[in-house]
Structure 1
Amino acid sequence: MSTAKIFLLGATGYVGGSILAQLLKNKDYTFTALVRDQSRADRLKSELGVEPVIGSFEDLEVLKKAAEESDIVINAWSDDLPATKALVEGLKKRGGRSGKPAYLIQVSGTGVLCDHVNGESDEQEPFDDYDIKRIRALPDEQIHKDVDDYLFSQNDQPDVLRTIITCPPLIYGKGLGIFNVRSKQIPVIAQATIATRKNGTVGKGLNKWGTVHVDDLVKFFDLLVRAAIDGKASYGDEGFYFAESGEEYLKDMSQHVFDAVVKKAGWALVDTVPVQTPLTDSEVDKYYGGAFGYWIFAGNSRSRANRAKKELGWKPEAPELWETLDEEVEYWVEKLKNDETKVEPGVDA
């Protein structure tokens, strides 16, 4: 197998750190990674042997230079359009100089699929990653859409640059990196459950989201990177991969979290009733981010990873979401049981 120099953005995050941990198992790869501060740079270097590039998404020249020195860029951090353009510019220089195509693998998300049903129904026809025409026709205001569309537009020189967009759904499970190992959406639900002492949903919770365990997700990226290096991955107009392994109603997801909280925090829920009920607008504002929370947590995001399974041979096999919640919930119970003001709403979608 050919060697590859990979520049990773997001190495200190939940998703990016997990991808890095998986790819480091392959000794044919060498890595550089963008970090904002020296202390994290030192840890990446000393603990993982990863060469740090200190900077931020505002440092466009830093991004261009690091991309120009890499065969593959994996952006697992941001939808920042100027930064993405800088990465593309650097990779095009790399591909033009080396005589072989450079790759940009963008970690987008199935939040781009979200509708506005306010938790009232699951009547969204699942999106297939082979149905590029339907995906491209999503409204411009969808999150991730501007960067996704830009990358689709950069397909005129496939011998120089090849772009691949990956769209994970809701990710669960303990991360594999050395920094942030906590998922995104599940902690929001857990924190809201603990703070409100309710078996609550955003809307009625009759909407569905795709899910994937982080262990299965990193195996997907392992297969994708190998396929890209070998010239076997889809790219350009067809370079779009979902990575779901199943889906759940949000009401069921919230119920699983509530059950885990009750199991871990008998102290907290003696004054509540276990009957599931929609949260109030003020509670959604506080714990889920208001209108954005209604859109993401009460919308459908249904996908089918047929391209990943057929072309890459990806076979998800990790535990179901409800089987993994005890450790996640226990962390938030210990963190928040004595100070509800520590709840910090937020989500990567």
Structure 2
Amino acid sequence: MSNILLTGATGYVGGTFLDQVLKSEEPSLKSLTIDTAVRTAEQAQKLKETYGDRVNPIKWKGLEDTTTVADTAANYDLVVNVGSGFIPAGAKALVEGLGRRKDGPAPWIVHIAGCTNLADRPLTQDAHPEREWDDEKDAGAIFDFMKEADAREPYPQRSAEVGVLEAAEASGVNAVSLNAPLIFGEGSGLFNRAGLVIPIALRYAITHGYGFKLNETANFDYVHVSDLAALYVLVVRTILERPDRGVGFIPTGRKGIIFPAVARILNTEIMERCVDAAFAGGVLPREGTPKEREVRQVSLQEIADEIMFSQVAVAERGWAGHKAMKGTLGPKLFGWKPQYTEEAWKQEFHDEFVALRDGRRGITLDACIGLRGN
């Protein structure tokens, strides 16, 4: 039986993954105990109250504490790192710890990354609206592209993905990265259950009375959080169930990048659907906002300052960038069959509006429209 460490059990993807694993009836999972790295005693208590002996919370300070991270990872042969893809030193410390093991099962890290690692910067640099990456056909080339791009212009999420795959290959650790597109839907974990992109876009539309665009061709692929978590479960099952622990079967190192992508949309469509949801919900139009549905051209600096903590490069990659990905390996290697497709995507905008209206997104609807009353 593997010793498994999960980072991100209190997060959106990690919490959903943990919930799916511990509710699974699969023989390889139904008696599994997972050690979960958490920051607070309250988090540990809630996990234990819900999942009992199936979880073993371990207190740490987070991925920034690289000495503790490496020392902790050295006790395991499988790490599922969905805590954060934006802390390069912490992610590499997990690999370092795994690499200390001298015996036992072949060590694995299953890492999380994101599609902005692939994005161009079409407003300030070169634009590549035609570019699409295929995780099978372009295996190796994807890594080479990201490594070269990161050498020119370091980007923490990309630095972490490249660093994990490179360090693992050098140290004899097996590493695969699930490079996720836009993640949507309600999670099933105990803590954070909300995505990021759709809530941000919806709040903007409600606050301003219109949507925004930085160009006409920016795109995202998307995946429901439950389907993404299901792919993580399938990868873990493959490691646990195969006699070879997936070594030679699951791509690893510089070829170890998998795209859990379901379908593709334009960023303008996201904003159109957000505006539609606000109109359908009766909060638009209102006094001082456009009477008709509108997606308005705005500046990169405005979007960076308002919704991206003034991080211009991050805003450009996400809201203007082209990051098309074709996910071939998930279905081919693991039999991954996403359950939440076009209808769930369309429903997402209504569901997010209701969650915002009901105060389940950390901000109230009244705050979005400038009211501070009840």
TM-score by length of 1: 0.88
Say which SS state the counterpart of residue 95 (structure 2) adopts. Answer: helix
CA contact (8 A) 2:116 2:317 kept: no
Q: How many residues align?
A: 335
Counterpart of 1:110 in structure 2 is 115
Counterpart of 2:219 in structure 1 is 208
**Hey, what's the Cα distance between the residues in 2 that align with 1:281 and 1:66?**
41
Aligned ranges 1:170-181 → 2 under 5 Å: 170-181=182-193
Aligned ranges 1:48-197 → 2 under 5 Å: 48-49=51-52, 50-55=55-60, 56-78=62-84, 79-94=86-101, 96-98=102-104, 100-118=105-123, 123-130=129-136, 131-135=138-142, 136-138=144-146, 139-140=149-150, 141=153, 143=155, 144-153=157-166, 154-158=168-172, 161-197=173-209
Q: Which runs of 5+ in 2 are unaligned?
A: none
- Work out whether 1:227 is the aligned partner of 2:225: no
Counterpart of 1:326 in structure 2 is 350
Counterpart of 1:286 in structure 2 is 306
Counterpart of 2:229 in structure 1 is 218
CA contact (8 A) 1:122 1:207 kept: no
Quote the offset at 1:164 in angstroms: 1.0
**Hey, what's the Cα distance between the residues in 2 that align with 1:280 and 1:313?**
43
Aligned amino acid, residue 114 of structure 2: G
CA contact (8 A) 1:227 1:312 kept: yes
Select which of 305, 309, 313 maps to 2:335: 313
CA contact (8 A) 1:209 1:248 kept: yes
Q: Report which stretch shifted further, 163-172 or 123-132.
A: 123-132
Counterpart of 1:277 in structure 2 is 296
Q: Structure 1 residues 286 and 148 mapped into 2: Cα distance closer, same or farther (>3 Å)?
A: same
Give the % identical residues.
25
Q: Structure 1 residues 287 and 205 mapped into 2: Cα distance closer, same or farther (>3 Å)?
A: farther
Q: Structure 1 residues 182 and 268 mapped into 2: Cα distance closer, same or farther (>3 Å)?
A: farther
Counterpart of 1:246 in structure 2 is 263
**Hey, what's the Cα distance between the residues in 2 that align with 1:341 and 1:283?**
19
Aligned amino acid, residue 213 of structure 2: V
Superposed CA deviations along residues 170-227 of structure 1, whole A, max 9, x for unmatched, are 00000110100000111110111111111x2231342111101112111111111112
Aligned amino acid, residue 250 of structure 1: N
CA RMSD of aligned residues (A): 2.3
Counterpart of 1:346 in structure 2 is none
**Hey, what's the Cα distance between the residues in 1 that align with 2:369 and 2:103?**
53
Q: Structure 1 residues 152 and 319 mapped into 2: Cα distance closer, same or farther (>3 Å)?
A: closer
TM-score by length of 2: 0.83
Quote the offset at 1:239 in angstroms: 1.7
**Hey, what's the Cα distance between the residues in 2 that align with 1:157 and 1:180?**
34
